[in-house]
Chain A
């Protein structure tokens, strides 16, 4: 399997705070790559370095043949290739659902408006919101908004989608509808990097799990290895704490 995203020895400092310390990992095509760990462990920063919302302090990140971290990197192209789904959805409130989905293809990719709309309708059907295309974000529930946000990311036809705690702002019912959509994507072979606290979902959908603590990768492996046979003591302690909760 060719690798989709390769993170090599990446470190990141914010002034005197170390956010990432020598992080290396490899995401293969079709992987559902889970990053778990307590808050402040650098998970979100790592995601934001992959699409260059943040710049790394040292190390390299590759998306296939494109060096993300290079000084000559085509940042726009990299962002076209990496969809991102945020904890707070970040839909554009002044645009309807369908406009939210079609704007980036139209402006960034110069897709024909008709074509962009047809594609958006297909995506809305996929996330189960065909009847909401004319609605504004504030008329939707949180779960619906997040599903629109996923459709919006999909509309750019990305090589990988980064999920930054996609269900943390949702109550359990809505969490399920979002996770269902993500599960469908995983089954269809979408490459996904997911920062999440949904351990049950990680067990069910992940192909690989990374546990991060204190800006470092502590342990990496299959869901079975991490959840059922964690080797490191810190991983064991973390899992005991979250699974008991």
Chain B
């Protein structure tokens, strides 16, 4: 059979589209979506303050809770991701295998199931509060994905860097922390930014555990006012604004890293 030469590589991220510089036109997809959402956010309460304005006054602490869960989770996910990522490149067979199994297992179980598992299933042994469960579950799950980013980032650094460091007398650990990891920062930041946005969206799953995040607050509002359509329209708009805002931030960061690299 002839060997097939694959020339096209498809790259898709599960986060929102990160706008590139070439997308600078006035009517870029990002601008249409972002300003459209802001326009709706203002227009709807002005046109019909009854459910919309009341809802906007009702949800801000939900937004804060969403941020709280997101930031705590991404922090611990980064810690776990770095540790597991280093474990994945470890030459110690035992550590290497454990890390790999961790990634395989965690990535094979839906986040929602993991949330239930930690909050409900583990309640048989320990009682963990809802927010703590949420943060633990998300951090464990995203830690597995982020570890792959760290692993790929570390492996993208030319072998000669490690060799030069070893030849100078560094230990492997010193070489990784002093030479290799600092260089991976530029490589891993954009995909980690992507994971952050994906995590922000996935944090809505915690509303199921009675964590009063943005989605949960919306649900609470709708369950008394019965304005389901209006409520979830607004909630969707708010999520959209948040994720688009952060995607822009990631894009700017990425752009700045590129120019930094050129200057230095």
Chain A contact residues, CB within 8 Å of chain B:
51, 53, 76-77, 79-80, 82-84, 86, 88, 90-94, 103-104, 107-109, 136, 138-139, 152-153, 156
Contacts and interface: CB of A to CB of B under 8 A. Distances in A.
A86 B168 CA distance: 12
B182 interface: yes
Most chain A Cβ neighbours within 10 Å, of B158, B163, B169, B182: B169
B161 to A, nearest CB: 6
Contacts of B166: 53, 79
Interface stretch (B30-38, B68-76, B171-179, B224-232): B171-179
B167 interface: yes
B170 interface: yes
Contacts of A86: 160, 163-164
Interface in B222-258: none
Contacts of B178: 103, 107
B183 interface: yes
Contact of B183 (A77, A94, A107): A94
Contacts of B171: 76
B170 A107 contact: yes
Contacts of A139: 264
B264 A90 contact: no
Most chain B Cβ neighbours within 10 Å, of A94, A103, A109, A152: A94
A104 B168 contact: yes
Contacts of B182: 94
Given A103-B178, A107-B174, A136-B264, A92 B164 contact: yes
B66 to A, nearest CB: 35
Given A53-B166, A92-B164, A93-B183, 5 more contacts: A104-B168, A107-B178, A108-B169, A109-B169, A153-B168
A79 B161 contact: no
Contacts, number: 56
Nearest 10 Cβ contacts at the A-B interface? A90-B164, A104-B168, A84-B167, A108-B169, A90-B160, A80-B169, A79-B169, A94-B182, A136-B264, A76-B169
Contacts of A138: 264
Contacts of A91: 164
27 contacts: A51-B167, A53-B167, A76-B171, A79-B166, A79-B167, A80-B168, A80-B169, A84-B167, A86-B160, A86-B164, A88-B158, A88-B160, A90-B158, A90-B160, A90-B161, A90-B163, A90-B164, A91-B164, A92-B183, A104-B168, A104-B169, A107-B170, A108-B169, A108-B170, A109-B169, A139-B264, A153-B168
Interface residues of B, number: 18
Given A94-B183, A103-B178, A136-B264, A156 B163 contact: no
A139 B264 CA distance: 8
A90 B168 CA distance: 12
Nearest to A79: B169
Nearest to A78: B169
A80 B183 CA distance: 24
B175 to A, nearest CB: 10
A167 to B, nearest CB: 16
A83 B178 CA distance: 19
A175 to B, nearest CB: 20
Nearest to A80: B169
Contacts of A90: 158, 160-161, 163-164
A92 B160 contact: no
Nearest to A139: B264
Contact of B168 (A77, A94, A136, A152): A152
B90 to A, nearest CB: 18
A113 B77 CA distance: 35
B161 A92 contact: yes
A53 B264 contact: no
Nearest to A149: B164
A73 to B, nearest CB: 13
A84 B164 contact: yes
Contact of B170 (A51, A88, A104, A152): A104
B192 to A, nearest CB: 18
B168 A79 contact: yes
A109 to B, nearest CB: 8
Contacts of A51: 167
Contacts of B174: 107-108
Most chain A Cβ neighbours within 10 Å, of B168, B170, B264: B168
Most chain B Cβ neighbours within 10 Å, of A79, A83, A86, A91: A79
A91 B158 CA distance: 11
A233 to B, nearest CB: 36
Most chain A Cβ neighbours within 10 Å, of B160, B164, B182, B183: B164
